[in-house]
Amino acid sequence: TSKEGQGDFRWCFTKILEIVGLQEALPIDEKPVRKSPSPPPKKAKVEPEPKKAKVEPEPSKAKVEPETQPPNFTLPLHDATIDEGSRFTFECRVTGIPMPEICWLKDNLSIDSNLDYHTKVEDGLCSLTIEETFTEDSACFTCRATNLLGYAETTALLTVRENEREAPPQFLQLLSPVSGVEGSPCRLECRVEGIPLPTVQWYRDGECVDSAPGYTTTYNNGVAVLSVEQMGIHNQGLYSCRATNRLGTETTSASVTVQRLISEKAPEFVVPLSNVMARAGQKIRLECELCGVPEPQLDWVHNGKPFTESRDIKVQKEGGKLVLTISEAFPKDAGTYSLTATNSAGSTTSSCTVAVKGRLPTETSDSELASDLEPSKPSIPTTLRDATVSEGGKARLDCIIVGQPEPEVIWYHEGVPIKESKEVQLLFQGDRCSLIIAETLPEDAGQYKVVAINSAGEASSSCQLFVQRTEMQPEQTPEITGTKPLFISLLTDALATEGDSTSLECAVRGDPTPSVSWFLNNNPVVASDRLKMDQEAGGLCTLVISPVLADDRGVYTARATNPLGEAKCFAHLIVRSAANLAAVPSAPDVRLEERATVPAFTELFADRTVVEGGSTKFECIVTGKPTPKVRWLYNSEPVSGKDFLVSVSGSRQVLTIPVVSKVLAGGQITCVAENDAGKASCNATITVSDAPPVDDLLSSIDHLNLSETSVFELKREVFMQSSSHTQFGAGEPVVQVHGMASRTEQ
């Protein structure tokens, strides 16, 4: 312990640090202990011994193994959460040379003297054990390791949960009654506790509404909420929240009251009053439809003066209508009637005119009985329709009017009443009312309106009449007379052997004489030494192929054209190779061809026009072996339902349409016949027209001045055109398509 001994120790320790290279990392006071009382200062500065270690060669320095290490935690502490009363151990691993000293801290306070905490260090593994934890043990625990080179720490948080005791559900906040108006939101809320946390269910009048539409439920941290975005009367009732866990069930209830929302609405006439016209003694009926909230107050006025009900004047409600009835009309009852409806939201008025005419001289006691019938407002079940006519043509506007008593009818053109004249005729036939213009002029175009009025009200209908001007063209194309091409003899299918000759023949007529061109598979056939085409003056057309090649097979088309139109017919040529013909005897083939025949239509049906609401039939006769299977199609879809009736009588096939509607207009009716030998079909188009008025059909007869000996003639013209289309290939079924159009005049 002498100063000289201390100097030797310090010199040795400094020497060791220089050897291991740690002198700079850990500064040491290099002031030596002077053995002489007063050593020269300069000699101390040039002392060679301490500095020799710094200039030693690098290889010798790398070979020295370090003998000290600062503390380092290779396994730190980790946070932990445990239940109260359980045993717990913190563990960490530390390294360092020399081995560090370990100190445990709780919230930065040493616990080395605390008997509740047991610490242990073994081979660098440090542990802190708590045999029985309490909530007071919740804290930040730190393990600090210290040696000569420094210290290191690792810290973790220990959380000790307090043990919860099971408890049944208990509502800390009960439901409270709710009252609101329709459309407003509603919220019911309560708070419940229990261990374990209870589950909740919501009920309205004893019925669970958790999944009911219009309700939203939430349950978070013991707060249960039931919400309704917009309340209605149906949401009213007693609501309950039921909380349940394994220890029991608890319920809280409250009522929800919904008040009806009455939104004010100003009065409005849905159907206003309408003008009436009555004969003296007839019953007058004024009616209208009115709405408003609250219910409006009604005030009737006649010619500006208020009036009330009396023996002859009654006001009553009939369903949703408001009706004023005058039991017997007199001239004093004529004038303007007004009804004013008023409520807190506003008021509105509707007016009408009542005309009372004198009794007709021709009226008798029988007609007086009609006044006892309840009057009904005129109606127009069949309204006017827009019409288009050519200048100089005849125009006719029709409608049907009903009412009691029989309404008076007034016609208007552009708002001006129309009077009957030589040019304009007004007809009344039963309930049908007609306006006829014998010869229309451009000024007759415009809006036409018919008004029907009686003692119960009035009704009207409008339409537009369009008059097309006829303008003469300065240069008119001369009309071509004659007839369109028509094949009087059609092409027939042919079977030829490769190397043989074959011909296809057809006959056509038309005026002017049609020119005939030939096509193979829609490609023009060019005449050559092998392909020869001929057309005779009588209309016979021939295509000769010699010799026949394999490429000649396919569908041949003969097309006849002239300025009035064109016509086509088709045939299929099958070419057999000579090798196949030599291998298979021909006689059996011929017999097989004769056994099976392609379906053929020996009687066709044609396009037709049918009046809407009428009925029609499509009939045809089909032959073929074996007996063809027949299907009817409408627009390529199988017919079905009550709109189509299919029947068979021998080889005659019948499709009946009991009631023709506009939906069928322009549709295509097809009959398809099919057997093993091939298939054939027949097509026609159905046109649906409006039912013409009887007066249109017979108007010309009405204006004929016929005597008993007079004779008149109805003429009908008949025109018919038909075509067929046959297709088949080697080994494929035969297909035939037939069509026919007709026009009749007698």
pLDDT, greater one: 145 or 372:
145
383, part of any domain? yes
What is the rounded distance in angstroms from the CA atom of residue 279 to the CA atom of residue 411? Answer: 20
Instruction: Report residue 689 as tokens.
Output: 């027209």
Whole-Å CA distances, 381 to 270, 386, 660:
21, 16, 21
Residue 119: other Cβ atoms inside 10 A: 16
Q: What is the pLDDT of residue 579?
A: 66
Q: What is the pLDDT of residue 613?
A: 85
Asked if residue 613 and residue 560 are part of one domain, the reply reads no
Asked if residue 150 and residue 181 are part of one domain, the reply reads no
Q: What is the pLDDT of residue 157?
A: 95
What is the share, in percent, of the chain residues with pLDDT greater than 70? 78
What is the rounded distance in angstroms from the CA atom of residue 401 to the CA atom of residue 397? Answer: 13
The lowest-confidence range among 10-24, 60-74, 237-251 is 10-24
pLDDT tens column, 660-695: 888 888 899 999 988 888 888 999 999 998 765 544
Q: What is the pLDDT of residue 593?
A: 44
52, part of any domain? no
Q: What is the pLDDT of residue 44?
A: 38
Q: What is the largest CA-CA distance in the chain?
A: 181
Asked if residue 419 and residue 335 are part of one domain, the reply reads no
390, part of any domain? yes
pLDDT tens column, 307-329: 888 888 999 888 778 999 999 88
Q: What is the pLDDT of residue 256?
A: 94
569, part of any domain? yes
Averaged confidence pLDDT in the chain: 80
Alpha-carbon Rg for the chain, nearest whole angstrom, is 57
Q: What is the pLDDT of residue 626?
A: 83
Over 90: is that where the pLDDT of 207 sits? yes
For 125-146, what is the mean pLDDT?
A: 93
Q: Are strands 248-259 and 178-181 parallel, antiparallel or unpaired?
A: parallel
Whole-Å CA distances, 562 to 540, 665, 718:
16, 31, 22
pLDDT, greater one: 30 or 223:
223
Asked if residue 207 and residue 129 are part of one domain, the reply reads no
512: part of which helix (H) or strand (E)?
none
As a whole number of Å, the end-to-end CA separation of the chain is: 157
DSSP character string of 590-637 = HHHHHHSEEEEEEE----EEEETT--EEEEEEEEEESPPEEEEEETTE
Over 50: is that where the pLDDT of 297 sits? yes
- Mapped onto helix, strand or coil, the DSSP state of residue 453 is strand
Residue 662: other Cβ atoms inside 10 A: 11
Q: What is the pLDDT of residue 708?
A: 43
pLDDT, greater one: 88 or 697:
88
- Mapped onto helix, strand or coil, the DSSP state of residue 137 is helix
Residue holding tokens 């050519």?
390
Whole-Å CA distances, 604 to 8, 162, 721:
140, 100, 11
Q: What is the pLDDT of residue 16?
A: 55
Nearest by Cα to 432 from 691, 703, 704, 705: 691
What is the rounded distance in angstroms from the CA atom of residue 621 to the CA atom of residue 630? Answer: 11
Q: What is the pLDDT of residue 455?
A: 86
- Report yes or no: 93 and 124 within 8 Å, Cβ to Cβ: yes
Q: Are strands 150-161 and 109-110 parallel, antiparallel or unpaired?
A: unpaired
Nearest by Cα to 133 from 83, 92, 90, 91: 83
Q: Identify the domain boundary among 227, 259, 291.
A: 259
Beta bridge partners of 390: 468
Asked if residue 271 and residue 241 are part of one domain, the reply reads no
- Report yes or no: 665 and 587 within 8 Å, Cβ to Cβ: no
What is the rounded distance in angstroms from the CA atom of residue 252 to the CA atom of residue 242? Answer: 7
What is the share, in percent, of the chain residues with pLDDT greater than 90? 40
Residue holding tokens 């001289």?
361
Residue 370 phi/psi, 5-degree rounding, is -65, -25
* Number of Cα atoms under 13 Å in the Cβ half of residue 163: 7
Look up the pTM and report it: 0.33
Asked if residue 334 and residue 308 are part of one domain, the reply reads yes
CATH code of 404's domain: 2.60.40.10
Instruction: Report residue 48 as tokens.
Output: 């060679």
What is the rounded distance in angstroms from the CA atom of residue 529 to the CA atom of residue 532? Answer: 7
Over 90: is that where the pLDDT of 61 sits? no
Asked if residue 183 and residue 152 are part of one domain, the reply reads no
For 319-348, what is the mean pLDDT?
A: 90
Over 50: is that where the pLDDT of 51 sits? no
For 358-385, what is the mean pLDDT?
A: 69
696, part of any domain? no
Query: What domain count does the chain have?
Result: 6
Instruction: Report residue 176 as tokens.
Output: 């409270």
Q: CA 735, 672, 726: angle at the middle one, nearest 5?
A: 20
Q: How many helices (H) and strands (E) does the chain have?
A: 8, 56
Over 80: is that where the pLDDT of 192 sits? yes
Supply the range of the domain harboring residue 239: 167-259
Asked if residue 156 and residue 171 are part of one domain, the reply reads no
- Mapped onto helix, strand or coil, the DSSP state of residue 529 is coil
719, part of any domain? no
Q: What is the pLDDT of residue 65?
A: 55
620, part of any domain? yes
Asked if residue 487 and residue 573 are part of one domain, the reply reads yes
Residue type (1 letter), 706: L
pLDDT band per the 50, 70, 90 thresholds, residue 728:
very low
| DSSP code at position 205 | T
Residue type (1 letter), 541: C
Asked if residue 572 and residue 500 are part of one domain, the reply reads yes
Q: What is the pLDDT of residue 580?
A: 59
Residue 4 phi/psi, 5-degree rounding, is -70, -40
Residue holding tokens 């559900």?
169
* Number of Cα atoms under 13 Å in the Cβ half of residue 442: 4
Asked if residue 157 and residue 173 are part of one domain, the reply reads no
For 600-625, what is the mean pLDDT?
A: 88
Over 90: is that where the pLDDT of 202 sits? yes
pLDDT tens column, 226-273: 999 988 888 999 999 999 998 899 999 999 999 887 778 899 999 999
- Report yes or no: 59 and 36 within 8 Å, Cβ to Cβ: no
For 630-653, what is the mean pLDDT?
A: 82
For 572-596, what is the mean pLDDT?
A: 60
The lowest-confidence range among 52-61, 191-200, 419-428, 594-603 is 52-61
Q: What is the pLDDT of residue 462?
A: 94
Q: Identify the domain boundary among 295, 325, 357.
A: 357
pLDDT band per the 50, 70, 90 thresholds, residue 2:
very low
The lowest-confidence range among 12-26, 70-84, 496-510 is 12-26
The lowest-confidence range among 63-72, 75-84, 631-640 is 63-72
Q: Identify the domain boundary among 161, 178, 205.
A: 161
730, part of any domain? no
Q: What is the pLDDT of residue 249?
A: 94
Asked if residue 386 and residue 322 are part of one domain, the reply reads no
Q: CA torsion, points 174, 180, 184, 190, in degrees to nearest 10?
A: 0
Whole-Å CA distances, 296 to 269, 274, 344, 347, 609:
11, 20, 8, 8, 57
Over 60: is that where the pLDDT of 703 sits? no
Whole-Å CA distances, 323 to 250, 316, 461:
62, 5, 24
